[in-house]
Amino acid sequence: GAVVSQHPSWVICKSGTSVKIECRSLDFQATTMFWYRQFPKQSLMLMATSNEGSKATYEQGVEKDKFLINHASLTLSTLTVTSAHPEDSSFYICSVETGTGGEQYFGPGTRLTVT
Amino acid sequence: GQNIDQPTEMTATEGAIVQINCTYQTSGFNGLFWYQQHAGEAPTFLSYNVLDGLEEKGRFSSFLSRSKGYSYLLLKELQMKDSASYLCAVRDKAAGNKLTFGGGTRVLVKP
């Protein structure tokens, strides 16, 4: 598998501010990383696919100008939630895909609370 | 798109066996995955099936029937620590090989 870290593990911010979440692949060079969001008692929803050295691919309904993704190296992708609002409060999880089967390994997640 | 169904919740007794079913509809099936997720934590990879049949990994087994669009995860010799949500996810070539997750099945293991 792959070891993935995220920072911070939790963050509280005020409405209107921006928050940056880092996702690091510690033992695997990831040209692609994935960003998911999970609301309480719901499943994971893919937000975007982060591509090293190029633009991210966003899922339908996800605002690319609100959720800025930068994948500047093979080990780091960042997600910036801009002008956060209370409805953006969620559990944000990144993952990398390894292996021939395409299994994904997840970071520990970042819990964002917007007040 | 994909349609993935799994039961919302199941309860079982410590030491028993529980089977979690997952049905799916997809146009370009390219693998089915099971993940375990404890409350407040990220999912951890359990198993992967792409061909029909049973894959066994210790106390956990996963079965796939592509013709029926059906999989199950079997948990044997249940332990209290197995109380968690179990997520079924399907990889679809028609969707760029992205993973789509089912709603998850919350398993409660009672003593």
Q: Is the pLDDT of residue A100 over 70?
A: no
| B2 pLDDT tier (thresholds 50, 70, 90) | low
Residue A92 to residue B76: CA distance in whole angstroms:
31
* Burial of A59 (C-beta count, 10 Å sphere; 0-12/13-18/19+): middle
Residue B91 to residue B94: CA distance in whole angstroms:
9
| A108 pLDDT tier (thresholds 50, 70, 90) | very high
Pick the residue of A23, A31, A44, A92 with the most B CBs within 10 A to test the interface with B by mutation. Answer: A44
Q: Is A107 on the interface with B (CB under 8 A)?
A: yes
Phi and psi, residue B18, nearest 5°: -130, 140
| Cβ within 8 Å, pair B33-A1 | no
Residue B87 to residue B85: CA distance in whole angstroms:
6
Residue A95 to residue A91: CA distance in whole angstroms:
13
Q: Is the pLDDT of residue A1 over 90?
A: no
Average confidence (pLDDT) over A18-25: 96
| pLDDT, tens digit, 9 for 90 and up, residues B20-48 | 999 999 989 999 999 999 998 999 999 99
Residues 19-38 of A with CB under 8 A from B: 34
User: Quick one: closest CA in B to A93, which residue?
Assistant: B42
Residue B49 to residue B30: CA distance in whole angstroms:
9
- % chain A with pLDDT above 90: 76
| pLDDT, tens digit, 9 for 90 and up, residues A45-94 | 999 999 888 899 999 999 999 999 999 888 999 999 999 999 999 999 99
